[in-house]
Amino acid sequence: MPGSMLKTVVKFAKISRARSYSQVDRLAHLKQQCQPHLTETVRTSVEGICLKLYNLSCDYAKKVREKSNSILKEHSMELPSQPFTSQTLRKVWCYPVQFAIGCPRLPVVEYLPDRDQAMLRYQSDTLAINSLYLQKLEHLYRHNCFDDRKFELFIPRVWVMLKRYATFLGVNPTPNNANPDIRDTQQSLPVTAFECLNKTFGVTFECFASPLNCYFRQYCSAFADCDSYFGSRGPFLNLKALSGSFQANPPYCEELMEAAVIHMEGLLDDTLEPLSFIVLVPDYREPTPAALVRLESSQFKRKQVTIPAYEHEFRHGFQHVLN
């Protein structure tokens, strides 16, 4: 009896596995046959949506620029007639972004400290930040900001920076209501990983970070106008690095990842000094993203390591407000 039961179970398992393989084959066949027709059918609609988004983005960018110019004029701060350009190229230390145009007068922002969090309120708009992260911003500000040694503008500038990221992540984001794709753009490596990169490879610079999730005092970020007071060197694609060791963990946007890899290869190709990048990207396959293809085939690649799922971790994108 036990033997017959064992045979029955084995036979059933084989049948189930065979059915599973058959279904996978059928799905692959359907994908091969139907995907070209689906692509052709929706191409016009998708291209129309993308064009509309592009036009809307251009319109809003124009409105923001005009509003910014009007604010500067209200404070008697005229825009330069010609862009500032360097007459000679020379090697310099990498400092935080400094703007030729000064900062307009900032409004009064209320500071409401609590035990674990601080609330920053401008009119009826209140933003929260953990006390430890506010202390971190204070250290970054002291080290990088040169126009406010008395910290008279510190709280307003923190509020502006928090408001920028709150707008980017969603209105008043919380771990429960935020879009996971947007929230994941703010994830970062654990502290132990950064310590290892610094000790083993001499990494001292993050290519994609923010004042809220950065580990090193030197980093690139998306919003130079409000992040520069806390050490940002501006967007990574504008960075002209000649030497050093860099960590790059770009947001999981295929176009941005590819542009970042192209920029890294250009920097490596142009310099004669020691320069390295440790790049962390998702191991997407079927299809493989263009960025990963370029990385794997690059002449500058020295080592590739794949870490399996559930054997690595990231710090939460809302680490500055989580309890």
Q: What is the pLDDT of residue 255?
A: 92
Q: What is the pLDDT of residue 210?
A: 94
Q: Where are the beta strands (DSSP E) in the chain?
A: 110-113, 117-122, 125-130, 205-206, 218-219, 244-248, 275-279
Q: What is the pLDDT of residue 87?
A: 61
Name the stretches of the chain with pLDDT < 50: 1-14
Give the count of beta carbons closer than 10 Å to the beta carbon of residue 247: 26
Q: What is the pLDDT of residue 79?
A: 72
Q: What is the pLDDT of residue 2?
A: 45
Which residue intervals of 84-190 are DSSP H helices?
Answer: 131-144, 154-169, 180-183
Residue type, 298: S
Domain ranges of the chain: 110-181, 185-297
Q: What is the pLDDT of residue 263?
A: 96
Beta bridge partners of 128: 119
Token pair of 166 as six digits: 């709150």
Residues 196-228 have pLDDT tens digits of 999 999 999 999 999 999 999 999 999 998 999
Q: What is the pLDDT of residue 227?
A: 93
| CA gap 314, 180 in Å, rounded | 14
| Residue position matching structure tokens 């928090």 | 162
Whole-model pTM: value is 0.76
Q: What is the pLDDT of residue 194?
A: 94
Identify the helix (H) or strand (E) that includes residue 35. Answer: helix 2-74
